[in-house]
Amino acid sequence: MSARSGARRRARRRRTLRRLTLLLLALLVTGVAVYVGLRPADPEPTPASRPSRTPSSSPTPTDLAGLDLSGLPIERTAFCDVLDEGDVETALGAPPTGTAHYDSGDRAQLTTGVTDVAHEYNCTFDSATTGAQARVWVFAEPVTAEVGRSLAREARRQAGCTVVEDAPRYGRPSAATSCQTTSPAGQEVTLRGLFGDAWLSCRLSTSGGDGAQQPRETVQRAEQWCVRVATTLGARP
């Protein structure tokens, strides 16, 4: 064998070895890439492994004590047909079994034992089931702020009544009272106040006996009823 032919064979072996080495490296790189591509992603942390979080508190119910309704546009006109029947039933605790509505100029029973020509628009709902009465009335004549302040003071000083300090602002000026009644025995919660020049009053009365509401429960139910009345009347076209 000549020296030249031996050198050529050695050169071919080196090239073959180099190609095999490159091929093995390529296969190794491809295998790593395929493994990385097919490898499952890190699993989501289980509830136990997640950082603990303080659960968010539920939304706070609307606080009626901070509610100011004095800007509502209350009209001095008939309104009984606008009131929501569901609101009336909720206030009474049962469907109404009787009504005693009247308009300004009608001859009506204004209070117990007093019948005269009315100067107000009134809606009264009674429930024989619960003994409750829901009433709303607005003066037909305009009321000034000075007269309104006098009416509010008079309501706060009424015998047998206490002021509901945390009641919604029911007009400006306004007054909210809870009164104990004796004939029949029960409780009357009244919100009243001046909306523009309209003096609006809203009342819920409950009687004693089985199923009677506790005083605070009556106050809360009266506030809800009167707020619904004012927002309904203030929203009508």
Is the peptide bond between 168 and the residue preceding it cis, with omega within 30 degrees of 0? Answer: no
What one-character-per-residue DSSP string does 169-183 give? B-SSSEEEEEEEEET
Q: What share of the chain is helix, strand, coil (3-state, %, to 5)?
A: 35, 25, 40
DSSP state of 81: G
- The pLDDT value recorded for residue 135 is 97
Whole-angstrom CA distances from 36 to 27, 32, 40, 193, 216 are 14, 6, 8, 75, 69
| 124 SS3 class | strand
- The pLDDT value recorded for residue 213 is 58
Helix axes 85-92, 215-235, angle to 10 degrees: 170
Q: How many CB atoms lie within 10 A of CB 106?
A: 14
- The pLDDT value recorded for residue 116 is 76
Tokens 């306004």, residue?
Answer: 174
In the chain, DSSP assigns E strands to 98-99, 107-111, 114-117, 120-126, 133-139, 161-163, 174-182, 185-195, 198-207
Q: Are strands 98-99 and 107-111 parallel, antiparallel or unpaired?
A: unpaired
Task: Kindly give, in sequence order, each residue whose CB lies less than 8 Å from that of residue 224, ignoring residues fewer than 6 positions away.
Answer: 64, 90, 91
> Tens of pLDDT along 105-145?
888 776 666 777 889 999 999 999 999 999 999 999 999 99
Lowest-pLDDT range of 35-39, 63-67, 100-104, 178-182? 35-39
Across residues 36-47, what is the average pLDDT?
39
Tokens 């009544």, residue?
Answer: 161
> Tens of pLDDT along 161-214?
999 989 999 999 999 999 998 877 899 999 999 999 999 999 999 987 544 556
Asked whether the whole model's pTM tops 0.95, one would answer: no
Structural contact between residues 77 and 121, judged by C-beta atoms closer than 8 angstroms: yes
